[in-house]
Every structure is written in structure tokens, then in C-alpha cells.
């Protein structure tokens, strides 16, 4: 429910594969293969950039996430619920 409501306010790029219900990255890999093949056939230059935001959730403060949701116009009740989920969370590795 929360994901559906967030999606209405914070649209996700259709190529996004992390944290969404999707078939993994195989579709994106096939698209990349097609682009490389076409560039080779047409003797064109091709630039590719891969962006991997490592540990993104470790480096963005929870307050910043909450502020960003509010700024995007997400329903205040949803923002509050997400804020409550972040309140006092800890991780233990055994």
C-alpha cells in the first residue's frame, strides 16, 4: 500500500530495477547489447555510463528522506508512517 501511494507522488524511471517488482536487470542488459550492436554496425561512437550508488541508504540521513518526501508532496500521513518506520531502528549482525 505504501509503495503504491509513494509511486503516485515519486515516479520511478521505467528502467529502475532495484527495489521494484521487476524481472531483474536482464531487460536493461538486452537493451545495452542492442545499443552496442547498432553502434558497431553503423560505425558510430557510443558512450556508456554505469552509476552504482553504493550504500546509498547508509549515506542519506533519514531526516533528509523524510524532508524529500514532504517536498515532493507525498501525503503527510504516508510521510509520518515512513518516519515512524525509521524511528529507533538498529541492525545487529550475529
What local confidence, expressed as pLDDT, does residue 13 receive? 74
Who contacts 39 (Cβ-Cβ below 8 Å, separation ≥6)? 45, 46
What local confidence, expressed as pLDDT, does residue 88 receive? 83
Q: Let me know if 69 is exposed, middle or buried by CB neighbors in 10 A (0-12, 13-18, 19+).
A: buried
What local confidence, expressed as pLDDT, does residue 41 receive? 96
pLDDT for 19-48, tens place per residue?
666 666 777 788 889 999 999 999 999 988
Task: Tell me the mean pLDDT in the region 57-69.
Answer: 81
Lowest-pLDDT choice from 9-13, 52-56, 81-85: 52-56
Who contacts 83 (Cβ-Cβ below 8 Å, separation ≥6)? 62, 66
What local confidence, expressed as pLDDT, does residue 20 receive? 66
Amino acid at each position: 500500500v505504501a509503495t503504491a501511494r509513494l509511486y503516485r507522488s515519486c515516479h520511478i524511471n521505467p528502467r529502475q530495477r532495484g527495489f521494484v517488482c521487476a524481472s531483474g536487470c536482464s531487460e536493461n542488459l538486452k537493451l545495452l547489447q542492442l545499443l552496442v550492436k547498432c553502434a558497431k554496425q553503423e560505425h558510430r561512437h557510443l558512450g556508456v555510463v554505469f552509476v552504482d550508488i553504493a550504500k546509498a541508504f547508509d549515506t542519506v540521513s533519514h531526516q533528509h528522506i523524510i524532508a524529500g518526501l514532504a517536498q515532493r508532496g507525498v501525503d503527510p500521513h504516508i510521510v509520518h508512517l515512513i518516519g515512524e518506520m525509521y524511528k529507533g531502528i538498529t541492525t545487529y549482525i550475529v
